[in-house]
């Protein structure tokens, strides 16, 4: 890896970044799994569709 070879970052820092990413993803997955389902009235919220039915 260029960053390691160039001395910009070391293996320990890369491993710390990897741990942080895995923690963030695990927390997001846990939140998604434990959150209640959205109300049916939210089903089409923030969906972009043209008036003719095609994607915007």
Residue 45 counted as domain residue = no
Q: Which pLDDT does position 5 carry in this prediction?
A: 86
pTM over 0.75: no
Residue 22 counted as domain residue = yes
Averaged over successive runs of 10 residues, the pLDDT of the chain (56 residues) comes to 86 95 98 94 84 63
Q: Which pLDDT does position 18 carry in this prediction?
A: 97
12: containing domain: 2-33
From CA 30, how far away is CA 55, in angstroms rounded? Answer: 31
Residue 40 counted as domain residue = no
Residue 14 counted as domain residue = yes
Q: Which pLDDT does position 45 carry in this prediction?
A: 87
Residue 6 counted as domain residue = yes
Domain count for the chain: 1
């Amino acid at each position: 890896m260029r960053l390691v070879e160039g001395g910009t970052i070391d293996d320990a820092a890369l491993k710390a970044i990897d741990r942080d990413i895995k923690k963030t993803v695990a927390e997001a997955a846990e939140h998604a799994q434990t959150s209640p389902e959205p109300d049916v009235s939210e089903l089409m919220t923030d969906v972009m569709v043209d008036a003719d039915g095609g994607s915007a």
